[in-house]
Structure 1
């Protein structure tokens, strides 16, 4: 073989090896990436009355929201992640490090509690510096770090203020700065906006979203507010009776609720039944005509705003779905009225206060509820 031919073969071998090496390098990087973030199965038993069994996984940069009714287990899950509640079984790994038996104070975790729990005798600066001091930083270095975090939170002017002089929104940001100052690999937020009034909540939610967008590790948020979850989280995990009943991207969960709790949370009427084409025979109820052509077990959802109400049975209506109902209750929100209806089908309807007055709606009144098939959404159960 000539040198020229040999060199050619070597070049071809090298060229063929480079893509393979690149693939191997990418695979190694992917495997390493799997070790980053949160990998947990949280099993906690409280006697014979309650068992939490929840699996959570997240990558660095992810914000996961735990949603659920009171007593569902979401706060227990958060406390288990923090090490404040021991696991009965399961595992807890953060960046491939087992934390099951690691004391709370040694976990690379920051926590923002619902009531913030700021030290009342310390200034905002020293509250934030507390974490770095506990991790071995000197007083000057810890306070310098704290000053930087307060500046990021637009609170530099309040460094010397004690908690009682701070507004609710300011206290929340100090608590967040204190949690972030230890540079956690997992940030836990327990109802972080619950203590705020509606006006402050709007501003703080926007600020919190910006800070979470810049957070390079995993954040887990517990909330009962669907708007907080939709705005702040990348992934929703709905918990009921200690187990996960639905999870996914916020838009997917909102569009395809699978439990009554989630449907109420996102403001939809939800039913289950069996589809045969465009007709769904609802479980324990009437048939409903839908826009989707499906077969087998399905869920059917539509918003209360899709429901039109009539005091007399409408004639010539284009709505394919019509039910005779009674008004069970009325609730006013600004210029909207939500009517809770029972009868052939239990459902909620939204209408303006003017329309409610024109219909003379009151508890016990008989109405006809109509929904167009095009305003329904059916999907496999």
Structure 2
């Protein structure tokens, strides 16, 4: 994330934190057959994204941080203050919900002013603060509009302004771009990135979209089955995925095996040749674009990895065709439309898949 520009300090002269300690939490929530147990720490100014499949526990974690889901065990401290017994409405927390949840009977201005009013500001003062936030969001001309007159992108920005108007020390965003169409999402994502870059407290973003996470967050925390399976910077996660879910998110074929020098013997499947010389348990990964397909076994190929496979499925993937393969090794290959047509690919077609050792990447498991 870019350095926070000094000129983007909070409207109404909200003081910047000087000795803030940020977020320190261990969230344990028991719900029937499901248990969430994750530790989260974040410094002021840091944006953390919780990623994971449906049912992983991301929303439960967000609700626990907001005080809407009671902790079974663990702790929740924000800037050194214990929030476990603090009711939701008294916490210095702002929330942006997936569906925004704007008050339909209030104007954009009064929606944003609602927070400051609840925190004790007079009507005139609250509306003045709200006007500043709407101007900062580029919505000054829509201050008098009710939610039904706003576009999805405008409503999302009003929701962000409403959350920020209380000067929260923790900002929670639950799938903030999910309700937007693709074109609006691109524009609003860029705007949200700028606002988060200027936010001086902790922000926690829940999303299932890897692009939202990669663009908006400083650090990713991947949750599966109520547990953290990997965390790190977006680049670290993209380079070294440790579960199949993460590999699919970042678009890699991922396998686990035992390395013996430049050969990785997979737990289920053939061996893979790599350029790295390692020993012991490893992951080996390569992008679908590194896979070359042939209808007949190639002769004279320089690829050291060659597997006999069968086409399991075809689908459009951006401007390419994603080919799902089974056989000696289950993997995905990306081809141009022309290449897929020339190979006459269809479900059930036998193919040979080749990958050069130089295009694989092995790292310790």
Distance in 2 of aligned mates of 1:204 and 1:146 = 20
Inter-partner Cα distance in structure 1 for 2:243 and 2:319 = 29
Q: CA deviation at 1:284?
A: 1.4
Shift of 1:33: 8.5
Q: Distance in 1 between matches of 2:316 and 2:219?
A: 32
Contact preservation (8 Å) 2:83, 2:91? yes
Counterpart for residue 221 of structure 1: 205
Structure richer in helix, relative to its length: 1
User: Using the alignment, how far apart are the partners of 2:225 and 2:85 within structure 1?
Assistant: 26
Match of 2:24 among 39, 42, 49: 39
Q: CA deviation at 1:155?
A: 0.2
Aligned partner of 1:98 in structure 2 is: 82
Distance 2:306 2:322 in 1: 18
Q: Which residue of 2 aligns with 1:59?
A: 43
1:70 maps to which of 46, 49, 54: 54
Q: Secondary structure at the match of 1:71?
A: coil
TM-score, normalised via structure 2 length:
0.95
Residue correspondence of structure 1 range 341-360 to structure 2 within 5 A: 341-360=325-344
1:194 counterpart residue number? 178
SS of alignment partner, residue 300 of structure 2: coil
Q: Tell me, yes or no, if structure 1 residue 251 matches structure 2 residue 202.
A: no
1:198-236 superposed Cα distances (whole Å, 9 cap, x missing partner) = 000000000000000000000000000000000000000
**Which of the numbers 146, 155, 166 marks the counterpart of 1:182?**
166
Structure 2 residue runs of 5 or longer lacking an equivalent are 1-16
User: Structure 1: how far apart are the matches of 2:18 and 2:76?
Assistant: 17
What is the correspondence of 1:20-39 to structure 2 with a 5 Å cutoff?
36-39=21-24
| Cα distance in 1 for residues equivalent to 2:76 and 2:212 | 26
1:81 aligns with 2:65: yes
Q: CA deviation at 1:332?
A: 1.1
Count how many residue pairs are aligned between Structure 1 and Structure 2.
Answer: 349
Give matches, 1:110-149, under 5 Å.
110-149=94-133
Deviation at 1:333, TM superposition (A): 3.0
Is 1:242 matched up with 2:256? no
Which of 237, 244, 247 aligns to 1:263? It is: 247
Shift of 1:135: 0.2
Q: What's the CA shift for 1:335?
A: 3.0
Q: Is the 8 A contact 2:220 2:231 kept in 1?
A: yes
Please state whether the residue corresponding to 2:115 is helix, strand or coil.
Answer: helix
Displacement of 1:304 in angstroms is 0.2
SS in 1 for 2:131: helix
Distance 2:140 2:298 in 1: 64
In structure 2, what is the equivalent of residue 9 of structure 1? none
Q: Distance in 2 between matches of 1:372 and 1:119?
A: 57
SS of equivalent to 2:168? coil
Across the aligned residues of Structure 1 and Structure 2, the Cα RMSD in angstroms comes to: 1.1
- For 1:278 and 1:137, the matched residues in 2 are separated by 67
Equivalent-residue separation in structure 2 for 1:34 and 1:369 (angstroms): 57
1 CA distance for matches of 2:20 and 2:66? 20
